[in-house]
Chains A and B, each alone.
Chain A
Amino acid sequence: MTDKILKAMTPKRKTAVNGKSPAMTYFVVLAAYAVLELCIKTGIMSSHLQGLLVPMVYYAIVAVGLNICVGILGELSLGHAGFMCIGAFGSAVFSLLTDGVLPDGLRFLLAFLVGVALATLFGFLIGIPVLRLNGDYLAIVTLAFGEIIKNLLNALYLGIDENGLHASLSNQMALGLSPDGKMLINGAMGVSGTPHDANFTISMVVLLIALFLAQNLVHSKHGRAIMAIRDNRIAAESIGINIVRYKMQAFTISAAIAGAAGVLFSHNISTLQASSQYFGYNVSIMILVYVVLGGIGNLRGSVIAASILYLLPELLRGLNKYRMLIYSIVLIVVMIFNWAPAAIAWRENLAAKFKAARKENV
């Protein structure tokens, strides 16, 4: 039992999150920002490419959020697109309500907070039932919640007039909106007219905040407790770690970060729709691909993988057809290479041989 506890307490080096230099991650992000900003200012970057920068960053942000859940907490969520969806719709509705009432900067800041707060709230509420499960069940239930959120928002009609807010799940007429009322969410047509507030700089700031949150979580007492639960739940419980509380904490933070990405999403697109293309479980899986290929538990890797995997197929149009095929094959190969006991033994064997060879040379 003791060695189990020790094992639970010692973070494995392989999955420790940039144990040595969290500062390096910020440096990489800032350097990338400086280079890209320079390209924009000097006019090297095409406007097509400029349009891809904000989506690239918000997918990197969700990847960081999902990595907290998959890498640090060790539970697979297939519903993060749903949290993104909540952040997007919550902030978009707030922006529509207050557009012209509040100054633009303040409005966006508040919209951002509203979006994140809603995603956090839903992360918490969904976490209560979901975190009682683990493994495959947890994955499939998060998928279910993601789809429920998407379907509900797809069927939701929300409008406002002088009598206040009106909501309906059937159709626009059921709202009974007065003639000068304003539609906020128009069912499957979604939200239109959200101001374009998100730009590359703001997105990068949000990414840095998300990374700061995530890295600090990992290197704190809380983070170590969460990783202890990941490595051995029973051992962690036996030494007095409050399983429910820490799992909840990780899941909620993860959802909040996804919600922040959703805010950027909705303030970068003119018509926001809860379609499968943007918020279906396929999107959650795509983000999972970023996380796995960047390295499960490696936050910097998530950012780099999300950026490269998002930009690459857009840049190489010819590759686009084969993009998902290549991703899927790489995903399978990476998983087997990294996790199969036989592959691990083979790698360790090879490393030992290299070491021996090096010693002989010296």
Chain B
Amino acid sequence: MSFLTSLVNGLSLGSIYAIIALGYTMVYGIAKMLNFAHGDFIMVGGYIIFTCVSTAGLPPAAGILLAIVLCTLLGIGTEKVAYKPLRHAKSNLAVLITAIGVSYLLENLALLIFGADTKSFTNVVTWPGIALFGGQLRIQGVTIVTILVSLAILIVLQLFINHTKNGQAMLAVAQDQGAATLMGIDVNKTISLTFAIGSGLAAIAGALLCSAYPSLTPYTGAMPGIKAFVAAVLGGIGSIPGAMIGGLVLGIVEILSKTYISSQLSDAIVFGILVVVLLVKPTGLLGKVTQEKV
């Protein structure tokens, strides 16, 4: 039964990774940049909800909604101010280092505003959950909600990308920015939209992550952010179902290795997966092979 419990916990953590990884994979696939600050949007979302619920006394739903809106705006703003000027820079290190700068900026702003102490986050899911097998297997409400929300996001995103004009524009920009421009697609708008969706998803991930692991610090988002990138690479960068699968696999591996191997080594194992994937199959599980043109 402890194995089943771990598996369910792994699914829950994996669903959170999957939501973050969806944002990562879309931004990487379309804007061709590693948004190192993506994980910190989770933290920003968490603090917005914390402020709304614990300080201002608003209902959790209002807090989540506000967090999504503000994170979306923050994502669009960051892209406009920090990343867009560097889109055609000679070295692609420039935008990566800038993204690291944005990540530091967000963490340290949070540190100044909220302090370094751990804030205890109120669970936004009030449903206590269910008990299976005569109470032997307890599944918390937040676990079930997390898994369902991530599935819903996956389905909506798939429909959006494959069946709307904006979604098709995203695919076109991901394939070839120049050709997309020639076809009359507004590349700037499409990239903004991508950042908006990614950041909004990060806010949702923030609400779920902080509900499942109720401690909030300025560095809450950093590690999950990096692990979600590992998940995106594992699933194949640019692929939406891939990000979902990668996230789930990573979450399950992390929880199982915490339970059965060593809690200290679980991070090493997760990062070991990244190394192995990039060596054996750099395109990930569901990624496409693209030829490098000279």
Contact = CB atoms under 8 A, between A and B. Distances in A.
A141 B230 CA distance: 9
B58 interface: no
A151 B268 contact: yes
B91 A339 contact: yes
A151 B108 contact: no
B85 A340 contact: yes
Contacts of A288: 97, 100
Interface in A284-342: 285, 288-289, 292, 321-322, 324-325, 327-329, 331-332, 335-336, 338-342
B294 A234 contact: yes
Contacts of B104: 285, 289, 324, 327-328, 331
Given A141-B278, A292-B97, A335-B101, A154 B264 contact: yes
A74 B91 contact: yes
B131 interface: no
Contact of A135 (B85, B93, B267, B275): B93
Interface string A132-174: 1101110111011101100110110000000000000110000
A135 B109 contact: no
The listed residue with most B CB atoms (<10 A of its CB), out of A136, A147, A152, A341, is A136
Contact of B108 (A133, A152, A325, A335): A325
A103 interface: no
A328 B37 CA distance: 12
B282 A133 contact: yes
A335 B86 contact: yes
A343 B112 contact: no
A241 interface: no
B102 interface: yes
Nearest to B274: A144
A70 B97 CA distance: 11
B96 interface: yes
B181 interface: no
Contact of B102 (A135, A137, A154, A332): A332
B98 A147 contact: no
B272 A148 contact: yes
A129 interface: yes
B262 interface: yes
B108 A324 contact: yes
Contacts of A292: 97
Contacts of B158: none
Contacts of B279: 129, 132
Given A137-B278, A169-B262, A329-B105, A148 B271 contact: yes
A133 B280 CA distance: 12
A84 interface: no
Contacts of A133: 278, 282
Contacts of B89: 339-341
A195 B99 CA distance: 40
Contacts of A75: 93
A332 B271 CA distance: 28
Interface string B194-206: 0000000000000
A342 B93 contact: no
Nearest to A147: B271
Task: Name the 4 nearest CB pairs between A and B, nearest first.
Answer: A328-B104, A339-B94, A331-B101, A144-B271
10 contacts: A135-B92, A139-B96, A151-B268, A169-B262, A188-B264, A292-B97, A325-B105, A328-B108, A335-B97, A336-B85
Interface of A: 70, 74-76, 129, 132-133, 135-137, 139-141, 143-145, 147-148, 151-152, 154-155, 169-170, 188, 234, 281, 285, 288-289, 292, 321-322, 324-325, 327-329, 331-332, 335-336, 338-343
Given A188-B264, A339-B86, A340-B94, 19 more contacts: A137-B282, A140-B34, A140-B274, A144-B230, A144-B275, A147-B268, A148-B272, A169-B262, A234-B294, A327-B104, A328-B102, A329-B101, A331-B104, A332-B82, A332-B98, A336-B82, A339-B89, A339-B94, A340-B89
